[in-house]
Amino acid sequence: MNYPGGIKKQTKQDINYAKRGQSLEADLNLTNSYYQHQGLALIYKKPTPIQVINVTSNQQKSPLITKACFKTPSTTDYNGLYRGRYLDFEAKETRNKQSFPLSNIHEHQLKHLNAVIKHGGLSFIIIRWCYYQETYLLESKTLFKYIKQSKKQSLPYTFFKTNGYLIKEQYQPRLDYLKIIDLFIKEEKK
Amino acid sequence: MNYPGGIKKQTKQDINYAKRGQSLEADLNLTNSYYQHQGLALIYKKPTPIQVINVTSNQQKSPLITKACFKTPSTTDYNGLYRGRYLDFEAKETRNKQSFPLSNIHEHQLKHLNAVIKHGGLSFIIIRWCYYQETYLLESKTLFKYIKQSKKQSLPYTFFKTNGYLIKEQYQPRLDYLKIIDLFIKEEKK
């Protein structure tokens, strides 16, 4: 069972994967923190939306939430600012070998990514293929073109290899995806 | 006692104010929702950051959080995209008549607003003066100039009247602050 915002019930599979490396979310948080401290960009993961139902208050201590539930996020998980540009993206991991099911991204999140393009921002998805230990960045416009033309609800791994951008994993920053954004900005200026 | 994210313990003063109108947060949410539905902008309030400690899982139902606490937000409450520009702001209400204490905004939030300017975004604060029933937008650069020059830790009401922009309250959108942003964008293009 997957909880919203990347909180997962740990399974045997997760533990095995944990040995191989960190989660995509952890890698992106490290990367964004590096970008921020180096004065390169301001990109943050939004907090998981939670509906607070009950709070106990104690004058001496901070309030404690005793009852709450997860809400469906209304936008993507990440957004921010880089070289004067608005960035917006969703990040997901898949253990599949053949294809990434689009059902892993909420419909209103896809709508949001599309709206970002219309308003002049840069929007994309970052997908980690755990089996191949590869992480790809795919522009939203490429994604929507594919959905429109193929009428399919899943993206083949080969589609990422051909149309996406492989993000190099390294020590620091862990996933240097802004190098790919530089290419997009350069392309726009042509 | 004030909880983070605008959740407040209701006092007699709050109840009286509630009769006069909605909270600034509610007005901004309505405004942003209007902007979004009209296809004008994509601006959202970030969820309140919450540290989840305990979750009970029931296969039939959604997971329920049974223990959690509020975290200090790492950025401002609002950000988004308008006419290809990145916007970022913090919004606060004050019941004071004379001045707005800067201690109402976290230090790292002020640092964040400053960083947004450096990275080419538009950053500002929106302050509602409940006593005067007036809401002002103040550019971050004007705010930081004042702090630097005056060395003061509070902003007088008169400073907002002179250096801020009064946001007109109306039926729809409730607080049309993008009209002021239009002025800034126009000014930049000169």
Q: Do B57 and A7 touch (CB under 8 A)?
A: no
Is residue A72 within 8 Å of B70, Cβ to Cβ?
A: no
Whether a cis peptide bond, with omega within 30° of 0, leads into A156 is: no
Three-state DSSP at A170 gives coil
Looking at residue A4, what is its pLDDT?
A: 47
Read off the pLDDT of residues A17-26 as tens digits, 9 standing for 90 and up.
333 468 999 9
Average pLDDT, chain A: 89
Q: Do A121 and B49 touch (CB under 8 A)?
A: no
Q: How far is B122 from chain A (nearest CA, A)?
A: 9
List, in sequence order, every beta strand (DSSP E) within chain A.
42-45, 50-56, 64-70, 78-82, 85-94, 99-101, 122-129, 134-139, 154-156, 165-166
Closest Cβ–Cβ partner in A66, A81, A118 for B119: A81
Q: Do A9 and B57 touch (CB under 8 A)?
A: yes
CA dihedral (A48, A124, A75, B135) positive or negative = positive
Q: How far is B35 from chain A (nearest CA, A)?
A: 12
Whole-number Å distance between alpha carbons of B31 and B44:
10
In chain A, count H helices and then E strands.
6, 10
Looking at residue B185, what is its pLDDT?
A: 94
- Structure tokens, A6: 């990347």
Q: Is A184 on the interface with B (CB under 8 A)?
A: no
Read off the pLDDT of residues A110-161 as tens digits, 9 standing for 90 and up.
999 999 999 999 999 999 999 999 999 999 999 999 999 999 999 999 999 9
Read off the pLDDT of residues B116-132 as tens digits, 9 standing for 90 and up.
999 999 999 999 999 99
Q: Which residues pair with A38 in a beta bridge?
A: none
* Size of the A and B interface in Cβ pairs below 8 Å: 128
Q: How far is B157 from chain A (nearest CA, A)?
A: 31
Average pLDDT, chain B: 89
Q: Looking at beta carbons, which residues of chain A come within 8 Å of B39?
A: 115, 118
Q: Do B83 and A42 touch (CB under 8 A)?
A: no
How large is the ipTM?
A: 0.86
Q: Do B65 and A62 touch (CB under 8 A)?
A: no
Q: Do A119 and B65 touch (CB under 8 A)?
A: no
Q: Which of B70, B145, B153 lies closest to B105 in space, CA to CA?
A: B153
Phi-psi group of B77: left, alpha or beta (phi > 0 → left; psi -120 to 50 → alpha; rest → beta): alpha
